Amino acid sequence: MGKESLQVLNALDVAKTQWYHFTAIIIAGMGFFTDAYDLFCISLVTKLLGRIYYHVDGAPKPGSLPPNVAAAVNGVAFCGTLAGQLFFGWLGDKMGRKRVYGVTLMLMVVCSIGSGLSFGHNSQSVMTTLCFFRFWLGFGIGGDYPLSATIMSEYSNKKTRGAFIAAVFAMQGFGILGGGIFAVFISMVFKAKFDAPAYAVDPVASTVPQADYIWRIILMVGALPAALTYYWRMKMPETARYTALVAKDTAQAASDMSKVLHMDIEAETPEPAQCQGHARKWELESAQCQGHARKCDRDTQQLRNAYGLFSKEFLRCHGTHLLGTAITWFLFDIAFYSQNLFQKDIFTAIGWIPPAATMNAVEEVFRIARAQTLIALCSTVPGYWFTVAFIDRIGRFTIQLMGFFFMTVFMFALAIPYHHWTLKDNQIGFIVLYSLTFFFANFGPNATTFVVPAEIFPARFRSTCHGISAASGKLGAMVGAFGFLYLAQSPDKNRTDAGYPPGIGVKNSLLFLGGLNLLGMLFTFLVPEAKGKSLEEMSGENEDGTIEELGRQTLSHRTVSEA
């Protein structure tokens, strides 16, 4: 970046870590806590929904959601998320990050509450209502991805930017953990209050009427963390990079960041004498400087308008990067969401969760929630925070490559001797390896695919490109959510769940997911390393004249104000 680079952006780049960084992490992070809670809590209650609304008299097993209903309930939020990522990503570049940031949160609050309500009492009306609200819940969650990532990247300094963005995303781990803990607590309360026999003893009495409240409470509680942070989101100023580089209001950007930084910032590479010298020089040559500024403004506008999103110039500069971020996120999410949403099926297959007929409805919720909570506590959450600790030391590229590699290794280690792991004496070994795949998913591509798109694209496309990359990931999540339901079914038609055709079995499904992780390793080589570089250096905005022009405007503004 040249000597005349925009001072307010330089101030952000070299800012020492201050309280406002942590405030931004908490405000944006609570959105991600809510996102994860809302997206993954559905997997805790799908078996309960089947027992309540799809009970069949005389059946040897408890009721379960039909394939089309299970696919809709599990996947409809991802459809909404994909749409929201594209729409709000685009809107964040057109209207500003802050202006649409609160809208996503209110959507999440309203639709979390709506998900726990229902019109009518029959299965069709309840599932239709649930799917309707979960689609729009996903739409709000989708907006949170590009906006939170972009806001955090544009607020951060370049030395610890990766850790700050990853810390926002790491709140997803606490959201998954929080959902599991709350489901354990609620199911314990209901179990103590409304005890019931196992399904095999009394099929009807095994599902107490009050169980219908459990899934509603679990879904509706997701509104609380979102509602609690709404006020603080509205108080955040627009990011300086959007205001300066997209809205082209450098005076407002300087004013906003002066309030945020309290004019108290110390540069880590201070050059006060040089800066004062430049200021005196610009003051002495103010008339000439303003003439140059007007000329540069015209030239810069021409350069800025020279290419748009998906033009040949964009594709030349950033097309490979966008392909890399989109494909790696797509491949990763197929494996990640397949694992997350269907942990309960894998745990049942290896015998970690007892057969459904041996439990009542509330106990089944408790067992599923406990299993997922243990996985989150022991592998998911630590994995996220390992990324936070190391991303600015060893870099995004290394962490992503390493994560894909170990996920591949551990999935093959689970799949190849799969029969060995299903034996009762070997279940602990299976859980350890299964947990390690989650650890390296989160100390790996789950975090880096979120961080990198917020760093490598120009400010005017940053939110949109992050939204496209994230939407590609959610497309993978939908493939995982819909496809794994069918793939993991037993090849023996007599052993499939009710309504499902024979699949390829859990073993072959895990082999398939391992192959996708191997592909993810290869596509990682398309993604550049952003460690230690400014956003403008990564995006190339300091090469098209934009930064130099804005720097002139800022110094001119400073000269006038000092005079």
Query: Comparing C-alpha atoms, which of 245, 257, 195, 267 is closest to residue 548?
Result: 245
In whole angstroms, give the CA distance from residue 112 to residue 141: 11
Q: Is residue 561 part of a domain?
A: no
**In degrees, to the nearest 5, what angle opens at C-alpha 73 toward C-alphas 67 and 79?**
110
- The answer to whether residue 527 sits within a structural domain is yes
Residue 295 placed within a domain? no
Three-state SS at 504: coil
pTM (predicted TM-score): 0.82
pLDDT in tens, the chain (563 residues): 333 336 777 777 877 777 888 888 988 888 889 999 998 899 899 999 999 999 988 888 899 898 889 888 888 988 999 999 999 999 999 998 888 888 999 999 999 999 998 777 789 999 999 999 999 999 999 999 999 999 999 888 888 999 999 999 999 889 999 999 999 999 999 999 998 999 999 999 999 999 999 999 999 999 998 898 888 888 888 888 888 888 888 788 777 777 776 544 343 444 444 445 544 544 544 445 455 545 545 444 444 445 677 788 888 889 999 999 999 999 999 988 777 655 666 677 666 788 889 999 999 999 989 988 988 888 778 989 999 999 999 999 999 999 999 999 998 998 888 888 777 777 778 778 888 888 999 999 999 999 999 999 998 999 999 999 999 999 998 888 777 767 767 777 777 766 677 777 778 888 888 899 999 999 999 999 999 888 888 887 765 444 444 444 444 444 434 44
- pLDDT tens column, 243-299: 888 888 878 877 777 777 654 434 344 444 444 554 454 454 444 545 554 554 544
Q: Find the helix or strand (DSSP H, E) in which 33 lies.
A: helix 19-40
For 130, phi then psi, to 5°, come to -60, -45
How far is Cα 127 from Cα 70, in angstroms, rounded to an integer? 10
Find, among 467, 377, 444, the residue nearest to 141 by Cα: 467
160-215 residue pLDDT tens: 999 999 999 999 889 999 999 999 999 999 999 998 999 999 999 999 999 999 99
Does 388 map to a domain?
yes
8 Å CB contact between 513 and 335: yes
Count CB-CB contacts under 10 A for residue 299: 14
Calculate the alpha carbon distances from 234 to 50, 259, 494 in Å: 40, 15, 56
CA–CA distances in Å: residue 556 to residues 177, 283, 552: 52, 8, 6
Write b or e for each residue in 407-445: b if 16 or more Cβ atoms lie within 10 A of its Cβ, otherwise e. Answer: bbbbbbbbbeebeebeeeeeeeebbeebbbbbbbbbbbb
Separation of alpha carbons 389 and 402, rounded Å: 15
CA-based nearest residue to 338, from 75, 538, 109, 112: 75
Q: Which residue shows structure tokens 């996920």?
A: 407
Q: Report DSSP letters for 85-130, one per residue.
A: HHHHHHHHHHH-HHHHHHHHHHHHHHHHHHHT--SSSSHHHHHHHH
Is the CA virtual torsion 104, 105, 110, 111 positive or negative? Answer: positive
Contact (CB, 8 A) for 99 and 488? no
Residue 489 resides in a domain: yes
137 occurs within a structural domain: yes
Is residue 552 domain-resident? no
Q: Sign of the C-alpha dihedral, residues 63, 67, 71, 73?
A: negative
CA angle 484, 398, 518 (to 5 degrees): 30
Cβ atoms of 392 and 160 within 8 Å: the answer is yes
- The residue length of the chain stands at 563
Asked if 441 and 172 count as a contact pair (C-beta separation under 8 A), the reply is: no
Is position 35 within any domain? yes
Within 240-360, residue ranges assigned H as helices are 240-241, 250-261, 272-284, 286-304, 312-314, 320-341, 343-349
How many domains does the chain contain in total? 1
Residue 213 corresponds to which amino acid?
A: Y
Contact 383, 442 (CB under 8 A): yes
- DSSP string over 371-436: HHHHHIIIIIHHHHHHHHHHHHHH-HHHHHHHHHHHHHHHHHHHHTTHHHHHSGGGHHHHHHHHHH
Gyration radius of the chain's alpha carbons: 26
Cβ–Cβ under 8 Å, residues 474 and 85: yes
pLDDT at 309: 79
Residue with tokens 């939110």: 463
| Amino acid letter, 96 | G
Domain hosting 84: range is: 18-248+312-541
Q: How far is CA 188 from the centre of its chain?
A: 30
Report the alpha-carbon distance of residue 457 to residue 450 in Å, rounded: 13
CA pair distance 62, 540, nearest whole angstrom: 59
